[in-house]
Chain A
């Protein structure tokens, strides 16, 4: 195998555009330490012991996350070139904007100096909302839940749990990014007449950088940091996302948001975190799912989804057949009058 193919493994840790960039991991651990030591009054040793709990990082569940990270990356290398990209959508939107004669780029040119800032904010907000929306659909639509429940099958949470994803779900996320990000880029590129830039830090989107630097990796961790009710109406805290992973039924389909909690607030799916909350992560027992077998993790969702589709088709046929039976032509007598049912 070409060595370059395996470059993604170190690249993910040294590239600030990636979520598990070493800097973000370190800042996450530091925030966790501050939380435990300063707010929860743990001792120095106990804080460190809890943060680097080997039972978490060396658990079976975590090893599945690590394995999926490697295998999924290889699978995505194969599929990436044929997937819809942001550029295709952005170019389409850009040309469409030019083809219409209603909005002219000149009309908002006076905003040009603020445009990179406005663009960076809009990009981040739209991206976050698209993540919320698709995440909600992954839970609400049965076919999609077949794949998304892989992520929820994690029984411990570590920053690597983000990679506990079925490749089909990965493809859905790629399409989501292409559409939402491509649309924003296309529109802003039109507005700015092609002279658009992004506010970046170390080559990464400023807001993504801040989001990750301020402990985004703690969402998938056993350190339960809450922001307090007021802030948790606006921003999703790590503790709120951990609720999202809870086995308990009352927590199901709650807190879909990634950065902003306002989406959950509007869609009535917001749950605030509790101090000292103890949460058991994973799937409920109703979900008959093999959690730690890679082969089954890849295959079962496909079979389950396929079965669901076949069932739906079968049900549809049954419905249509029933409908047709009710519509069968009534017999007519010689005077063209409908014959009544003998029993009626």
Chain B
């Protein structure tokens, strides 16, 4: 007779239970991450490749530029021209123009901390061959005086910023950390992705999929072009597993758990960090009215799958159409994110001008009001310039946008920058009234909503009116009195 040991039975059952639970958890987590992580399961498809690489995904140059951009903003806001040994201008230009061939360009943001330890300390640990200046928009910028190219504008701003402590010119109203940062996001990151990699490089003849991107490369022309555009977007590779709030907190260095996808205890700045445009998309999506972050990131993942599935062959015309459609989804949503930012900061400027008016009438609190106003105006102008760095030629919209905000903010004495002389000095003239300038901010918001079908509409000035009317109750009923 078989003797059953009840303890052994319980033990076996427990082991079996734990094992099956673990298996199901593994299965769940793998099925969850499968296809959700950018760059995962992308084998090398280049025909005749003999190297050791097994994954064709690469966007190191772009992430290096994200870090150069972050660091540039940091150093511009910390500039101290009064210290002759600080060599402020060269330090700033270093992050804009130079490549970190010697792995000596320190990452200034994000810096490692106990709450948010990061894997890399130098830009060169990610890429040694990237700079910002070489990729800046080469077209003449109508949003800035004197017909400068994108790179010229940033260089001009850097030179101006190097002469002012903290990077804010209170006389002319220029907040350079904001202007430089936001415009660089457009002139380099958005411009390269949408006016280059997802535009001409997604045509049949340019960077074909049956050839390596360059001689000896382990990725094809189309694979790498697509990856590079993704890098400029600035989303963490595992973004699809995060909520908008988590993605936002990762960029703010507040959520190590969400950032550290591979659970090695540190944040890999190459693929676990949120930067630039993806950060702004997360910020708007937190409100729940939009889904820019995941729409764009998913389109990148889907597009990469189509390219990978071509297995190193030329893309068929239907695949090419699908890819171009996805590129369209990416760039239109991307433009919306920038337009949302323009809308948001136009609303901030409107409110700040109210505070400036109060400070004028009360005779106190002007410094605080101006500091806030100039910061938000810098963000507004920077994003408005960024919006004009894409592939879309909305000249009428852009002209109106530039005309309404001007080259500089309207100052309390109603002066405004109208140009730059041959020596690089700002030229100023009498601007409109503060009331009129505020009206321009409302019109900018309306222009953005109309042209880009915005939904988040942060800081909507007239939106308050709509919610007030909502409070009054629905009035469209047939009722006598």
- A binding-site residues for B, Cβ under 8 Å: 8, 15, 17-19, 68, 72-73, 75-76, 79-80, 83, 85-87, 90-91, 94-95, 98-99, 101, 104-106, 109, 131, 135, 148, 151, 161-167, 169-171, 173-174, 177-178, 181, 185-186, 189, 193-198, 200, 203-205, 258
Question: What residues of A have a CB within 8 angstroms of the CB of B468 in the complex?
Answer: 185, 189, 196-198
Q: Which of B457-481 contact A (CB under 8 A)?
A: 461-462, 464-466, 468-469, 471-481
Question: Which of B361, B462, B477 is most buried by chain A, counting CB atoms within 10 A of its CB?
Answer: B477
| Residues of the A chain whose Cβ atoms lie less than 8 Å from the Cβ of B434 | 104, 106
Query: Given the known A-B contacts A17-B472, A203-B471, are A165 and B464 also in contact in the complex, defined by CB atoms under 8 Å?
Result: no
**What are 20 A-B pairs with beta-carbon distances under 8 A?**
A17-B474, A73-B477, A76-B478, A85-B469, A87-B469, A95-B442, A98-B436, A98-B438, A105-B354, A105-B357, A161-B480, A163-B479, A167-B478, A169-B480, A177-B475, A181-B475, A194-B461, A196-B468, A203-B473, A205-B472
Which residue of A is nearest B462, CB measured?
Answer: A91
CB nearest neighbor in A for B460: A194
- The answer to the question of B433 belonging to the interface, with a C-beta cut-off of 8 Å to chain A, is yes
B353 to chain A, nearest CB (A): 8
CB distance from A94 to the nearest CB of B (A): 7
- Closest A-chain residue to B433, C-beta based? A101
- CB of B350 within 8 A of chain A? yes
Contact with A along B281-305 (1 / 0, CB 8 A): 0000000000000000000000000
Residues of the B chain whose Cβ atoms lie less than 8 Å from the Cβ of A72: 477-478
| Residue B155 is within 8 A (CB to CB) of chain A in the complex | no
Contacts of A194 in B (CB 8 A): 350-351, 354, 461-462, 464-465
Which DSSP category, helix, strand, loop or mixed, fits chain A's interface? helix
Decide: B465 and A185 in contact? CB cutoff 8 A: yes
**Which of B351, B354, B357, B472 lies in contact with A198, CB distance below 8 A?**
B472
List of 7 A-B pairs having minimum Cβ-Cβ separation, nearest first: A170-B478, A17-B473, A98-B439, A80-B476, A72-B478, A193-B354, A106-B357
A105-B357, A163-B478 known; A90 and B464 CB under 8 Å? no
Q: Taking the complex as formed, is B134 at the interface, i.e. its CB lies under 8 A from any CB of chain A?
A: no
> B21 in the interface, Cβ–Cβ < 8 Å?
no
Instruction: Using A90-B465, A174-B475, A181-B472 as known contacts, say yes or no to A104 and B481 having CB atoms under 8 A apart.
Output: no
Query: B360 near A: Cβ within 8 Å?
Result: yes
Instruction: Identify which of B357, B442, B469 contacts A86 (C-beta below 8 A).
Output: B469
Which residues of the other chain, B, contact A85 by a CB distance below 8 angstroms?
A: 469, 476
By a CB distance below 8 angstroms, the chain B residues around A131 are 481
State how many angstroms separate the Cβ of A301 from the closest Cβ of chain B: 13
Q: How many residues of B contact A (CB 8 A)?
A: 33
A170 x B465 contact (CB < 8 A): no
Q: Are B439 and A99 in contact (CB-based, < 8 A)?
A: yes
Contacts of A181 in B (CB 8 A): 469, 472, 475
Q: Is B17 an interface residue (CB 8 A)?
A: no
Once A109-B357, A109-B358 are accepted as A-B contacts, the answer to whether A91 and B465 lie under 8 Å apart by CB is yes
B129 within 8 A of A: no
Q: Judge if B424 is at the interface, Cβ distance under 8 Å.
A: no
User: When the two chains form their complex, are residues A19 and B433 in contact, meaning their CB atoms are under 8 A apart?
Assistant: no
B471:A200 contact, CB within 8 angstroms: yes
Q: In the complex, which of the residues B360, B361, B435, B479 contacts A19, with contact meaning CB atoms closer than 8 Å? A: B479
Q: How far is the CB of B413 from chain A (nearest CB, A)?
A: 15
Q: Which residue in B360, B462, B469, B476 is a CB contact (below 8 Å) of A83?
A: B476
Q: Chain B residues near A161: list those with CB within 8 A.
A: 480
In the complex, the answer to whether B480 meets A99 with C-beta atoms within 8 Å is no
B372 to chain A minimum Cβ distance, whole angstroms, is: 15
Instruction: Kindly report which residue of chain A lies nearest to residue B474, judged by CB atoms.
Output: A17
Residues of B contacting A203 in the complex (Cβ-Cβ under 8 angstroms): 471, 473
Question: How far, in angstroms, from A200 to B435 measured CA to CA in the complex?
Answer: 30
Task: Return B225 CB to nearest CB of chain A, in Å.
Answer: 44
CA distance in complex: A181, B471 (Å): 12
Residues 42 to 87 of chain B near chain A (Cβ within 8 Å): none
Most chain A beta-carbon contacts within 10 A, residue among B433, B471, B473, B479: B479
Interface centre among A18, A98, A174 (most CB of B within 10 A): A98
**Further 19 A-B residue pairs, CB within 8 A, beyond A104-B433, A165-B480:** A17-B474, A72-B477, A87-B466, A98-B435, A98-B436, A98-B439, A106-B357, A106-B434, A162-B481, A169-B478, A173-B478, A189-B468, A193-B357, A194-B350, A194-B464, A195-B354, A196-B465, A198-B471, A203-B471
Q: How far is the CA of A170 from the CA of B468 in the complex (A)?
A: 23
B155-210 residues with Cβ-Cβ distance < 8 A to A are none
**B436→A174 contact, CB < 8 A:** no
**Docked CA distance A173–B475 (Å):** 9
Q: Is the CB of B435 within 8 A of A104?
A: yes
Q: Is the CB of A196 within 8 A of B464?
A: yes
B 421-473 contacts with A by CB, 8 A: 433-436, 438-439, 442-443, 461-462, 464-466, 468-469, 471-473
Q: Which residues of A contact B351 (CB under 8 A)?
A: 193-194
Min CB–CB distance B66 → chain A (angstroms): 36
Contacts A17-B474, A105-B354, A194-B461; is A185 near B469 (CB within 8 Å)?
A: yes
Question: Whole-angstrom distance between the alpha carbons of A90 and B442 in the complex?
Answer: 13
Docked pose: A215 CA to B480 CA in angstroms: 16
Report Cα–Cα, A95/B358, bound state, in Å: 21
Residue in contact with A106 in the complex, picked from B361, B464, B474, B480, CB distance below 8 Å: B361
| Residues of B close to A193: CB separation below 8 A | 350-351, 354, 357, 438
CA distance A79 to B354 in the complex (A): 39
- Complex CA gap A106/B412 in Å reads 13
Within 8 A of A (CB), among B395-438: 433-436, 438
Q: Which chain B positions have C-beta within 8 A of A87?
A: 462, 465-466, 469
The residue of chain B having its C-beta at the shortest distance from the C-beta of A194 within the complex is B461
Known: A98-B435, A101-B436, A196-B468. A170 touches B477 (CB 8 A): yes
Q: In the bound complex, what is the Cα–Cα distance between A185 and B477 (angstroms)? A: 20
Closest CB-CB distance, B440 to chain A, in whole Å?
9
